[in-house]
Structure 1
């Protein structure tokens, strides 16, 4: 039986043999340590997840870009641009990325992508983990107006029951574009929970700007979403900027892992 102790022979200083006993718990601990050392994961596996992923390097995409976090009157001066483009040098220009940019006159602009997915169980609550990979030219440790051009531009992601989209607060020249899903509850709490990392790459500020690929991954339960009766949900990812300048990114890969 597993609960019986097992005996092995251990040689002592007098070359005699005495039994050395391992308990069941000791053996279980050794097995667990061995599995961890060899890279096995006892609690988490892709086999337990429903995965949605996009490789922007080689695929056309149905991801829809949009922007929030700026005044209506500034819209024509934000220098918005987006779409599939070849990756910039020194990266492999034979591969594509999803290019998105804005000039952050508001010190709060969000550059976002959204997509509706299906194939999940209807009326079911899932936890979601995200992985986002992108090309960024912003070095670490630089100063900038409003914030650092790397560290102050936060990567964010969320899953939602409703379509993420801009809503307008106030009217006329005072109108301001907000993100609807952020303002369905505590807006600051939502934002802090949505953050995955920032866009600063591995170069130091004195090394200058040069595009590198960076990947950020969230925790296992970064977001929680309940599907509708058709097993659908919305995904959204992008950045929120505290740097009052232009940011240019090329997204190359996105993954969302859904677990019940």
Structure 2
């Protein structure tokens, strides 16, 4: 059994709580609610609700951070000090500097941090990586947009790291060169990211200035093509064929990855501190 502390109780956090409640091997021992009364209370399943960090993390195996990203750095710093694995919601931080600090702390301490990049836990995207593994050279185009979304952080921090990691995984190597350009827009933010790895390349367009939500990830190699889109019914199409999968909740798969980390020490590329640092460093170097 993995006992976790859940930080925050937003809509996203409540969804995580609901999913954990359906699992036999994971238990939310406590909920750390920020900006609430100082008294503790019991709720269903004997879960402690408190605003005291020490009480929340007492005897837990891991911490899931699902509060407002403005508090992420402070919570991560405290979690690293007690040495427990962390799962953190995206965006990791509201600034490039804080994002970089979080992963440098993780790298120096050796504490695993799992960012809940939902696409990395998609069965369909994992299949795309596998099915295109022998394709070379390849060209990737990825359009991703949260239309009209007003945030207290840049869309580059929200969508950028995951998009760069997704393209890097399909390119099979972290690219030798990444160029990031901010495109003038009156309706929001728009960034073009060009990535180059050997004879392969990726062109990413991310932001919130489009009129509709987009999640179109396309890979081409000669006459072959694969399309991944997590907001449509047929999420993966390869060479015109609709690939069928048993539906799996990406959040559930993320939690189970955290469980494997806690119970067996097993980590994979989804925990990759190096990949996250490289992706954010490229953003940092572009806009520093």
Q: Same fold (TM over 0.5)?
A: no
Q: Over alpha carbons, which structure has the higher Rg?
A: 1
Q: TM-score, length-normalised on structure 1?
A: 0.25
Q: TM-score, length-normalised on structure 2?
A: 0.23
